[in-house]
Structure 1
Amino acid sequence: MMQETFAKAEELAGHVREYIHNRLDVAKLDTAEKTSKVAAFIIAVVTVAVFIFSFIFFASVALAFVFSRTTGSLAGGFLIVAGIYLLIGIIIWLLKDRIIQLPIMNALLKQLFREEEDDDEEN
Structure 2
Amino acid sequence: MAEIKTKTENLVEHASDYLETQLQLAMLNATDKATGIASQSLFTVVITILVLFVMLFSGLGFSWWIGRAINNMVGGFFIVAGIYIFLIVLVFLLYKKYLAPVVRNFLIARIYE
Percent of aligned pairs with the same amino acid: 25
How many aligned positions are there?
113
- Residue 47 (1) aligns with residue 60 (2): no
Q: What amino acid is aligned across from residue 46 of structure 1 in structure 2?
A: V
Q: Deviations over 1:31-58 (max 9, x none)?
A: 1101111211121122122212211110
Please identify, of 3-12 and 77-86, the stretch whose mean Cα deviation from structure 2 is larger: 3-12
**How far apart, in 1, do the equivalents of 2:33 and 2:43 lie?**
15
Partner of 1:76, secondary structure, is helix
Cα contact 1:68–1:74 (8 A) shared by 2: yes
Ranges in structure 1 where 5+ consecutive residues have no aligned partner = 115-123
Cα contact 1:64–1:80 (8 A) shared by 2: yes
Structure 2 counterparts to residues 1-123 of structure 1, below 5 A: 1=1, 3-114=2-113
Cα contact 1:38–1:108 (8 A) shared by 2: no
Cα contact 1:92–1:99 (8 A) shared by 2: no
TM-score (ref. length: structure 2): 0.88
Residues 50 and 61 (structure 1), Cα distance of their counterparts in 2 relative to 1, 3 Å cut = same
**How far apart, in 2, do the equivalents of 1:80 and 1:70 lie?**
12
**How far apart, in 1, do the equivalents of 2:68 and 2:92 lie?**
31
Q: What amino acid is aligned across from residue 62 of structure 1 in structure 2?
A: G
Partner of 1:95, secondary structure, is helix
**How far apart, in 1, do the equivalents of 2:12 and 2:87 lie?**
65
**How far apart, in 2, do the equivalents of 1:47 and 1:60 lie?**
20
